[in-house]
Amino acid sequence: MKEPRLIELTELKPGYLASINNLLSQLSDSVHTITEEKLNSLLSSSQSHLYVLEADGQFIGMTTLCLYQCPTGWKAWIEDVVVDRNFRGKGYGKLMILQVMELCRKRGEVTLMLTSRPSRVVANQLYQSLGFEKRETNVYKMKS
């Protein structure tokens, strides 16, 4: 297998929707599939950037970087980090996060954040080993 590379998806091509939905199904039991319409909307957004880890024409991982500006500066959230179950334990999650961190560094001063369920022990250890600090805060969620 060729060395995987992180690429930003900017347009929907044949097979992309199925590949992304395959990865989404491995992210969480509660995650639903994305429709073609919603994926096209995501890919055309200037604030959301969908990256896939591609190897030999196959998507083996994925993450989303969401950037926005506040009065206190630029913020970025890493969302929906997933590595295909057949490729886990090979350092691909770390590779994706490191490359997204570098993309943020190139933008200048950006506060980079992410969330991870406590049950994801390996992922939490990875994030802390890369310099992310656990915050004592409450995160709230509301669906509209």
**pLDDT of amino acid 41:** 98
Percent of the chain at pLDDT above 70?
100
Give the closest residue to 5 by CA, choosing from 70, 50, 81, 57.
57
35 is in which domain, residue-wise?
Answer: 5-129
Q: How far, in whole angstroms, is CA 91 from its chain's centroid?
A: 15
Residue 80: give its domain's CATH number.
Answer: 3.40.630.30
Give the closest residue to 86 by CA, choosing from 118, 60, 109.
60
**pLDDT of amino acid 48:** 97
Task: Reply yes or no on whether the pLDDT at 31 is more than 90.
Answer: no
Count of the separate structural domains present in the chain: 1
Residue-wise DSSP of 54-106 = EETTEEEEEEEEEEEEETTEEEEEEEEEEE-GGGTTSSHHHHHHHHHHHHHHH
**Does residue 134 lie within any of the structural domains?**
no
Give the model's confidence band at 30: pLDDT under 50 very low, under 70 low, under 90 confident, else very high: confident
**Does residue 72 lie within any of the structural domains?**
yes
Average pLDDT, the chain: 95
pLDDT in tens, 44-66: 999 999 999 999 999 999 999 99
pLDDT in tens, 110-129: 999 999 989 999 999 999 99
